[in-house]
C-alpha cells in the first residue's frame, strides 16, 4: 500500500525559519502550501517541488481544494518522468468529471509531445490520435491517412515536400467527428495542426542545441487533437474535422532544397528560402483542405516560430487573426480557462512581407529567424491559404506548448497549454 504524503492548503504565512515567503513547508508529517496572493501559481509551484522529491504519492486533504486549485496542482505535478500517484480531493460530480477529463486529455497531449521521435513517425502520430478519439467516441469517428506518394498525387505539396527527405513517409490525417444525427450536416469547424515529428531544419540545419528539443515540433497536432477530445467529452454536438499535417524534416538526397518552388492547389507558388520554415508549408495543406470542406470556423495550432517565443517568452501562446471580433472572443475564452494567450499583429499586408523574384511569395525571409516580425509574417503566409478571406480563422503560435528544461511551474517537455481554450472556443463558436 502506498504511503501518501498529505498536502494541505494554507492562507497563512510560513514561520520565519522557513525563509522568505516559501510556497511549501512541512509539519506534522504533512506538506503545507502557502497560497499567498497568487494562490493558483503558488500551488503549481509547490506541486513542482513535490514532484521533484519523487514521493510514492501525494494526497490533497483539508479545506480549499476546489477544482481550480486541484487543476493547478495537477499541472505542476505532471512530469515526463512519471511522479508518484496523485490522490485528488473530493468534488461534486460535475466538477470531478471536468477535472478528470482535463487530466486525461492533457496527459495524452503531453505524452505525445514528450515521446521520442524514433517511436513517433508521422503515420504513427496519426494512428495514435485516431485510437484515442475512437476510445472517447466509438462509432463517431471517420478517418483516413494519406501518406507518401499519395500526398503528391492528391496535391498536398507542402506536407509531401517537407517529408520526402525521410525514409518514413509524411502523412495527412483527415478525420471527422460525427455526432448522432449529424452525419449529413455540414462541417461546423475544422482544427488544423502542425505535426512535424522531428525537425532537423533540413538543409537550413539547426544547431545541435536547437535541434535537441525538436521532437516537440508536433505540438500543434497534439494540441488540436486534445482540443477535439476535450470538446467531445464536454458534449460537442456538431460535425468537426481534424486535419493533421505530419512529416519528419530531415536531410537526404531526397530532401527538398533551397530554391525549390512549390505550387499549391489554390494556385499559390512558394519559393523555398529556408527549409527550417517548414511548419507553414505543411499547415497550408491543412488550411486548404479545411476550405475544401467548407468549414466556416478554422482554428490552427503550431509550434511555428521562434519569433513568437522572443516576443512572449514561454508563458503565453500567440494569437493571430484577420477576424478581429473572433480574435477578441478567443482571447476572452483563454482568460476564462486560465490559459495565457496574447495577440500579435496580423493584417493583409503581412502576406507580402516575404517577397520572391521567382514565385508569388517566399516561405520566409532569407535571414536568421525570419527577420523582424517573423511570427506575423508566418501568419501572413498562412492567411494566403485560409477560406473566407480569413473570416472565422484563428492561428495560434504555441510559444507556451513546451519547455526545454524544468522550471518553477512546469516540467521539461509538453504543457498542453492551449487545449482548454481551443476546446471551449470550439463548443461556444459552433452553437
Give the residue numbers marked as catalytic.
Answer: 206, 280
> What are 183's three cell numbers?
452525419
Do residues 372 and 306 make contact, with C-beta atoms less than 8 angstroms apart? Answer: no
DSSP 103-148: HHHHHHHHHHHHS-GGG--HHHHHHHHHHHHHHHSTT-EEEEEEET
Q: Beta-carbon neighbour count of residue 85 at 10 Å? A: 12
3-state secondary structure of 173: strand
CA–CA distance from 249 to each of 160, 170, 271, 396 (Å)?
10, 9, 17, 21
Do residues 298 and 190 make contact, with C-beta atoms less than 8 angstroms apart? Answer: yes
Closest among 343, 155, 131 to 229, alpha carbons compared: 131
Find cell 476546489 and name the residue. Answer: 66
Taking the C-alpha atoms of residue 127 and residue 101, their distance in angstroms, rounded to an integer, is: 21
- As a whole number of angstroms, the longest Cα–Cα distance in the chain is 72
3-state secondary structure of 70: helix
Amino acid at each position: 500500500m502506498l504511503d501518501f504524503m498529505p498536502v494541505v492548503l494554507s492562507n497563512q504565512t510560513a514561520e520565519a525559519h522557513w525563509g522568505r515567503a516559501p510556497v511549501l513547508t512541512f509539519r506534522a508529517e504533512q506538506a503545507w502550501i502557502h497560497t499567498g496572493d497568487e494562490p493558483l501559481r503558488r500551488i503549481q509551484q509547490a506541486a513542482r517541488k513535490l514532484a521533484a522529491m519523487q514521493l510514492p504519492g501525494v494526497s490533497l486533504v483539508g479545506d480549499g481544494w476546489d477544482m481550480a486549485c486541484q487543476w493547478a496542482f495537477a499541472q505542476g505535478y505532471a512530469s515526463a518522468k512519471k511522479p508518484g500517484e496523485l490522490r485528488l480531493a473530493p468534488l461534486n460530480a460535475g466538477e470531478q468529471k471536468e477535472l478528470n477529463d482535463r487530466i486525461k486529455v492533457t496527459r495524452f497531449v503531453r505524452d505525445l509531445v514528450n515521446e521520442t521521435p524514433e517511436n513517433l513517425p508521422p503515420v504513427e502520430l496519426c494512428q495514435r490520435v485516431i485510437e484515442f478519439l475512437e476510445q472517447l467516441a466509438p462509432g463517431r469517428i471517420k478517418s483516413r491517412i494519406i501518406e507518401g506518394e499519395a500526398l503528391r498525387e492528391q496535391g498536398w505539396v507542402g506536407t509531401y515536400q517537407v517529408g520526402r527527405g525521410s525514409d518514413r513517409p509524411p502523412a495527412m490525417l483527415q478525420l471527422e467527428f460525427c455526432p448522432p444525427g449529424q452525419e449529413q450536416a455540414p462541417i461546423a469547424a475544422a482544427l488544423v495542426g502542425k505535426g512535424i515529428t522531428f525537425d532537423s531544419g533540413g538543409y537550413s540545419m539547426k544547431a545541435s542545441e536547437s535541434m535537441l528539443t525538436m521532437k516537440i515540433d508536433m505540438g500543434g497536432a497534439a494540441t488540436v487533437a486534445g482540443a477535439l477530445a476535450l470538446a467531445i467529452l464536454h458534449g460537442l454536438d456538431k460535425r468537426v474535422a481534424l486535419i493533421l499535417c505530419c512529416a519528419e524534416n530531415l536531410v537526404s538526397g531526397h530532401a527538398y532544397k533551397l530554391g525549390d518552388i512549390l505550387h499549391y492547389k489554390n494556385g499559390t507558388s512558394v519559393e523555398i528560402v529556408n527549409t527550417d520554415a517548414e511548419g507553414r508549408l505543411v499547415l497550408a495543406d491543412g488550411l486548404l483542405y479545411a476550405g475544401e470542406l467548407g468549414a466556416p470556423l478554422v482554428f490552427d495550432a503550431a509550434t511555428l516560430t521562434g519569433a513568437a517565443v522572443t516576443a512572449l517568452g514561454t508563458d503565453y501562446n500567440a494569437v493571430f487573426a484577420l477576424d478581429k471580433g473572433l480574435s477578441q472572443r478567443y482571447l476572452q475564452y483563454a482568460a476564462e480557462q486560465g490559459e495565457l494567450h496574447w495577440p500579435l499583429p496580423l493584417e493583409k499586408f503581412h502576406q507580402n512581407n516575404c517577397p520572391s523574384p521567382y514565385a508569388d511569395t517566399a516561405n520566409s525571409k532569407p535571414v536568421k529567424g525570419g527577420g523582424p516580425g517573423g511570427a506575423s509574417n508566418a501568419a501572413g503566409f498562412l492567411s494566403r491559404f485560409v477560406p473566407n478571406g480569413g473570416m472565422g480563422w484563428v492561428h495560434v503560435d504555441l510559444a507556451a506548448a513546451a519547455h526545454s528544461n524544468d522550471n518553477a511551474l512546469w516540467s521539461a517537455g509538453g504543457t498542453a497549454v492551449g487545449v482548454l481554450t481551443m476546446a471551449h472556443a470550439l463548443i461556444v463558436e459552433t452553437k
